[in-house]
């Protein structure tokens, strides 16, 4: 009888241990970079073959590279709002970098808190311009106002302003806070970390030890770099066709290669500084991965790395983002989770920033909230066949008061074609065959043979907007003052 009783106790004990292991919720670290274009990683072919990103390369080597990742709007605040809410820009209405987040938005970390996760935010929030106060969904909060600074930052740490001096570098400081919180967290609970870097936002500033490391390297200019030069446009043999006037005019603006940032830097220094700043941020990622290794957390922690939007380096004569060309709307997306993902795997499917929240929630066992417009790509990471995955993605950008040279636009991209439609300007729309013209230099908008497809895609843009309540532009207050006295008559 005693033996039977002992056997029953042992069975109950081992069943309990087994159950605990099987229901163990995975940890998640989401790392967001600013303005990191999709191909500026050293494991990929690009125009900067001397660039080194060893820790991003490690993530790709040990995990999954999502080869076709896109944002719904290539701009800091709208993209970040889409990541956090799973909503398109016209739905969450954070349409530009000045627009505050409206009341009533729910961020996906709030659902993780309800599911028993410890949650922490470190870095750039940048919705509502200057606000750095703690937001819902996070037990730990470390942030800064607006774009922040690279050196000696002042951070809002759980509501208290903390100044950092002695040549403190923002990527290092944010990583220090992250690792300190991970060390002190409640080890009995799963964790979610949102590490949101300032890097690599302009004006680019690397860590001091990385200054000048690429300064002598040769710049390889993109194929479309000179396509908007007047002398090139006058050449009858010019292969570029149907260039919108706003693109031509922007070449000599703040966001153009011939007068970038009002002549504050040269194009060559611009690229070198960007790559050095990216190298400095890559070191932060290495520290996070090393911490997981050292503390036995690698196997059960999903690490996601993503850019909030892409960035142009001379394509179409442009710098910056905002537009719907590939280098702007396409972003890096790497996922490493040894318990699920295969090493060196690649996903060709089109994934967007609105998919991040649903994916992390599904991993945590939380059903997708009804309001979210994105979709979990967890089954794709698991290697499952998903026959009804999206065959196209949609894009939107709304005219900004501070940068009026770029118009409102909507776009749709399939695996082969892209249609870009401009709103409120007398200009040409654009249509590209990405298979034969990956540099987007030959506008086929007037091609007779493509008119049926252009008509179909145009209709699909409107179907998307109508189906998601996006047939109106969300207007926001943009009140500026000429003088510091802030009198009403001085607004413009």
Task: Specify whether the CB–CB gap between 420 and 247 falls below 8 A.
Answer: no
Structure token digits, residue 336: 């490493």
Q: In which band, very low, low, confident or very high, does the pLDDT at 485 lie, cut at 50, 70 and 90?
A: very low
Is CATH 3.10.20.30 the right assignment for the domain spanning 25-224+257-390? no
Dist. CA 155–CA 140, nearest whole Å: 13
Which SS3 state, helix, strand or coil, does residue 421 take? strand
Q: What pLDDT, in 10s, does the model give residues 103-154? A: 899 999 999 999 999 999 999 998 866 789 999 999 999 999 999 999 999 9
Closest CA to 359 of 8, 88, 22, 26: 26
Dist. CA 452–CA 349, nearest whole Å: 25
Q: What pLDDT, in 10s, does the model give residues 417-427? A: 999 999 999 99
Q: What pLDDT, in 10s, does the model give residues 291-337? A: 999 999 999 999 999 999 999 999 999 999 999 999 999 999 999 99
> For 154, phi and psi rounded to 5 degrees?
-105, 125
Q: In which band, very low, low, confident or very high, does the pLDDT at 486 lie, cut at 50, 70 and 90?
A: very low
Which pLDDT value is given to residue 131? 83
Average pLDDT, the chain: 92
Kindly give the interhelix angle for 76-85 and 356-363, rounded to the nearest 10 degrees: 30
Closest CA to 446 of 423, 428, 426, 458: 428
Q: How far is CA 200 from CA 168, 255, 298, in A?
A: 17, 16, 26
Q: What pLDDT, in 10s, does the model give residues 203-250? A: 999 999 999 999 999 999 999 999 988 877 766 555 567 999 999 999
- Reply yes or no on whether the pLDDT at 92 is more than 80: yes
């Amino acid at each position: 009888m005693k033996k039977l009783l002992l056997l029953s106790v042992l069975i109950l004990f081992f069943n309990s241990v087994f159950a605990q292991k099987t229901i163990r919720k995975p940890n998640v670290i989401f790392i967001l970079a600013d303005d990191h274009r999709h191909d500026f990683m050293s494991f990929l072919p690009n125009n900067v073959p001397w660039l080194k990103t060893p820790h991003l390369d490690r993530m790709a080597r040990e995990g999954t590279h999502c080869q076709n990742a896109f944002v719904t709007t290539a701009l800091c605040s709208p993209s970040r709002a889409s990541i956090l809410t799973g909503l398109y820009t016209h739905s969450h209405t954070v349409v530009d970098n000045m627009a505050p987040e409206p009341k009533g938005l729910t961020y996906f970390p709030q659902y993780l808190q309800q599911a028993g996760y410890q949650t922490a935010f470190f870095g750039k929030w940048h919705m509502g311009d200057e606000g750095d106060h703690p937001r819902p969904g996070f037990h730990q909060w470390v942030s800064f106002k607006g774009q922040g600074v690279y050196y000696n930052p002042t951070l809002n740490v759980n509501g208290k302003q903390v100044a950092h001096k002695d040549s403190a570098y923002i990527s290092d400081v944010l990583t220090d806070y992250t690792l300190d919180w991970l060390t002190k967290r409640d080890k009995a609970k799963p964790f979610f970390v949102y590490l949101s870097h300032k890097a690599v936002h302009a004006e680019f500033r690397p860590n001091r030890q990385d200054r000048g490391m690429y300064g002598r390297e040769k710049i390889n200019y993109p194929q479309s770099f000179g396509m908007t030069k007047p002398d090139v446009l006058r050449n009858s043999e010019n292969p570029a066709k149907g260039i919108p006037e706003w693109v031509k005019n922007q070449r000599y603006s703040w966001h153009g290669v011939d007068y970038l940032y009002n002549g504050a830097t040269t194009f060559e220094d611009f690229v070198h500084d960007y790559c050095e700043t990216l190298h400095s941020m890559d070191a932060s990622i290495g520290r996070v991965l090393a911490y997981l290794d050292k503390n036995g957390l690698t196997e059960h922690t999903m690490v996601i790395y993503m850019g909030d939007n892409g960035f142009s380096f001379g394509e179409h004569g442009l710098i910056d983002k905002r537009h719907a060309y590939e280098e702007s709307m396409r972003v890096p997306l790497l996922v490493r989770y040894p318990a699920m993902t295969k090493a060196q795997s690649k996903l060709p499917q089109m994934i967007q920033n609105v998919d991040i929240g649903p994916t992390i929630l599904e991993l945590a066992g939380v059903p997708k909230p009804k309001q979210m417009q994105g979709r979990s790509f967890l089954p794709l990471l698991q290697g499952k066949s998903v026959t009804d995955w999206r065959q196209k993605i949609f894009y939107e950008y709304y005219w900004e008061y501070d940068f009026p040279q770029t118009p409102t636009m909507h776009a749709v991209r399939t695996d082969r074609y892209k249609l870009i439609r401009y709103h409120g300007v007398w200009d040409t729309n654009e249509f590209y065959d990405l298979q034969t013209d990956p540099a987007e230099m030959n506008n086929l908008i007037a091609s007779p043979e493509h008119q049926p497809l252009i008509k179909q895609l145009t209709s699909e843009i409107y179907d998307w907007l109508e189906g998601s309540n996006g047939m109106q532009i969300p207007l926001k207050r943009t009140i500026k003052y000429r003088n510091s006295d802030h009198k009403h008559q001085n607004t413009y």
